[in-house]
Amino acid sequence: MEQISNFLNLPFTDPVLIFSLILLIILFAPLIFDKIKIPHIVGLIFAGALFGPNGLNVLAYDSSFHLFGQVGVLYIMFLAGIDVDMNDFKQNKNKSIVFGMYTFIIPMLLGIATGIVLMYLIYNNLSGGEPITWVSGEASDSNTLIKYCALSAIVLASMYASNTLLAYPIVSRFGVSRNRSVNIAVGGTIITTVLALLVLAIVLEVARGEMNYIFWLRFIISLSIFGFIIFYLFPRIARWFFKRYADNIVQYIFVLAMVFFASFLAKLAGIEYIIGAFLAGITLNRLVPKQSPLMNRIDFVGNAIFIPFFLISVGMIVNFRILFDGYLTLLTAVLMSVIATLSKYLSAKAARKTFKMSNSEESMIFGLTNAQAAATLAAVMIAYNFVIGYTASGEAVRLLSEEILNGTIIMILVTCIISSIVTERASKKIAISDISNEKSAGIYKPEHRILIPVSNPNTINSLMELAVLIRNKNEKQPIYALSVMSNNNYESQGAIESQKLLEKAVSLGAATDNKVKMISRYDLNIASGISNVVKEKNISDVVMGLHSKTTFSDSFFGSMTDALLSGVNRMICIFKSTQPMGTIKRVVVTVPADAEKESGFNKWCDRVFTLSEHIDAEIVFYCNANTTRSIASLAVARKNHIQPKFMPFENWDEFMTIKTAITSNDLLVVISARKLSPSYQTSFEKLPTQLSESFQENSFIVLYPEQFKEGEVDQMQNSTTKII
């Protein structure tokens, strides 16, 4: 009993017991607060306050919480950078810049105007009217007090200016992330967050008394070196690493190392760690596909461990009891919540007037940008730990006081609730409007039933990667993994190996939160087995690897592929991978004349556009004028994030001229055709030789669109003509 009593002494000291309690808090706090419609981020902060030294005193705020809290805030900023769709920002660049300035300047003006008065009241209340001894050694007079009130007010205003896209998952759930209001809000968030963090860094230097021309010279030089390393060296190092090391765990450790090294470099450059983490996310944004095992691991570890630790550590230093100690703390919380919400509302209203937006779009911008969380918490923690002086009684005077810290928690609670409610209502209205517009415009919405025939353990990773990247992220249909065997002996070695491949496909799908359904089939031959499954499961796409030639007379694609092309009219992608998709910079698509006349034209266009968006790669089409108009029309209708580029390509006999335009980081997509189809050309007969001789170093996809009407393919099965 005595041993148990020692374990239960408060605060807990046993590391296993502490970690167990933390995990229970991380598990149950979101569940409980979700029931009462409060964002779980606020729930974790409240849990930290409840169990921390200012609450039940179950957990002590020691060095471990400080360490994991620091890691957590850097992780939050990294996720904010890596989750941003840079193409959204480019597409609405000018509007995003204008709104970014609105949502930065308006909160700064309101925040400074009200903050100076508020900080003067707080400092006077803290010192009891007695002079404050400043760390900088400045005179303890009213002018110095006003100066520090102004500096504190600027930091407070920068907290109002920054925002976190906490409600973005709501937008994704309703499928309206391509709406221009969302794009503008995301772009504006990038601008205002970076500016707010830079303001914080400059104010801290002023408060240290180091603001002079030497500081500015050093700051500009160090910032330039930092920018060169982050924006020039980091992407090249990361691309080199991802090409050579495919293991997801190794890649994840590499990404973490890049993030924390960037944070350290930011500190060396004279700015805060969180700016380095945020810019590291921006830098790695294009190299980590959103639908990839690596991105899934980044999200999972951050949201499961690091970020909750940070939120709990924030709650542990909050003392809610002072809310009842006097009017000042309550006034601070109310004022901060009102100013933060009002300033973002006025910014959204200004954007609506400037860009002639609808009420729903205005609400969307306001909802997305109203939530205060990551950057706000980071800034208040940095400023709270920055001591600028001491009272006559020896109490520390902080750049942002305890009243501001506690007021920030209330502000986060209020803004997160408002943000969630407003964003959900706006998303519903925009989604209903988009559905109505799509029906009237006849926009193509393809069904995704993807089949992957698995037989080669060396290609299954790349095939699963491609299958995930050509799917819409909200697709509900599973990916089908198929193993076809002609031997009906279930105990054979081949059956065992096939089962292992199917299980690996399921594992790879789970790593990206995609359901994979295994199919084992025994048929006369592989082509027949695939063809039958395509019909039985109503498959829309077949994704398969490039055949490895076993004999000199064997065709480039293999006899099985040839037979499949003649027996299946659905879209078939033959994929050869030489590098991870995340390292692809550009997708180059060659399209034959009359491709727009094929029945599967819209479908393959949608798949190619989706692929380029998921890997954040530029897309270039080589095609004639008629096909260009058709593809451009589809791009406009589906509101592409990445605007396609077009190059004239009139004669397929000149296919090899494209070789000079292809670089090592390009993905070549060749749109081919079955014989007797409208876009078929005799030049396709040369394609196997051209690909094998001139594009060995490139990843490429040979794509056969869905062609012919039902029944026409059956007639072709009896054809003796070889199809390539």
The answer to whether residue 554 sits within a structural domain is no
Same domain, 128 and 261: yes
Same domain, 538 and 583: no
Q: Long-range pairs for 644-651 at CB < 8 Å and ≥24 separation?
A: 644/609, 644/619, 644/620, 645/618, 645/619, 645/620, 645/621, 646/620, 646/621, 646/622, 647/620, 647/621, 647/622, 648/622, 648/624, 649/590, 649/591, 649/622, 649/623, 649/624, 650/593, 650/624
Contact 661, 691 (CB under 8 A): no
Q: Give the pLDDT band of residue 8 (cuts 50, 70, 90).
A: low
One domain, residues 464 and 517: yes
Instruction: Please tell me whether residues 595 and 536 are part of one structural domain.
Output: no
Say which range, 203-207, 619-623, 709-713, has the weakest mean pLDDT.
Answer: 709-713
In terms of domains, do 488 and 344 share one? no
* Amino acid found at 37: K
pLDDT score at 261: 93
Assess whether 391 and 485 both reside in one domain.
no
Domain CATH number, residue 504? 3.40.50.620
Looking at the domain assignment, is residue 563 inside a domain?
A: no
DSSP secondary-structure letter at 487? -
Among 205-219, 442-456, 654-668, name the most confident range. 654-668
Same domain, 538 and 610: no
Q: Which two tokens stand for residue 216?
A: 């500015």
Give the residue among 649, 679, 673 at the shortest CA–CA distance from 661: 649
Domain membership of residue 711 (yes or no) is yes
pLDDT bucket at 712, cuts 50 / 70 / 90: very low
557 within some domain: no
Q: What angle do CA 705, 544, 628 make, to 5 degrees?
A: 30
Whether residue 314 is contained in a domain is answered as yes
Query: Where in 320-423 does DSSP place strands (E)?
Result: 387-390, 396-398
Of the candidates 402, 436, 470, which is a domain's last residue? 436
Q: What is the CATH number of the domain that holds 676?
A: 3.40.50
Answer yes or no: do 593 and 480 share one domain.
no
Distance CA 616, CA 635 (A): 16
End-to-end CA distance of the chain: 79
Last-in-domain residue among 403, 436, 469: 436
Is 555 domain-assigned? no
Domain match, 378 and 457 both: no
Point out the domain boundary residue: 529, 545, 561.
545
Q: Are residues 397 and 501 in the same domain?
A: no
Q: Dihedral of CA 473/242/583/592: which sign?
A: negative
Say if 336 falls within a structural domain: yes
Nearest-CA neighbor of 196 among 374, 42, 315, 75? 374
Q: What's the CATH number where 334 sits? A: 1.20.1530.20
- Rounded to whole angstroms, the Cα distance separating 724 from 557 reads 7
Q: How many domains in the chain?
A: 3
HEC profile of 83-140: CCCHHHHHHCHHHHHHHHHHHHHHHHHHHHHHHHHHHHHHHHHHHCCCCCEECCCCCC
Q: Secondary structure of the chain: what % helix, strand, coil (to 5)?
A: 65, 10, 30
By percentage, how much of the chain surpasses pLDDT 70? 88
pLDDT of 157 > 90? The answer is: yes
- Do both 351 and 372 map to the same domain? yes
Residues 277-301 pLDDT 10s: 888 988 888 888 877 888 888 888 8
Burial zone of 36 (CB within 10 Å; 0-12 exposed, 13-18 middle, 19+ buried): exposed
Least-confidence region, from 159-168, 364-373, 440-449: 440-449
Measured CA to CA, the distance from residue 505 to residue 645 in angstroms comes to 35
Q: Is the pTM of this model over 0.95?
A: no
Instruction: Identify the burial level of 491 via C-beta atoms within 10 angstroms of its C-beta, where 0-12 means exposed, 13-18 middle and 19 or more buried.
Output: exposed
Choice among 175-179, 360-364, 489-493, 657-661 with the minimum mean pLDDT: 489-493
Note whether 277 and 347 are same-domain residues.
yes
- Report d(CA 611, CA 609) in Å as an integer: 5
Give residue 150's domain range: 14-436
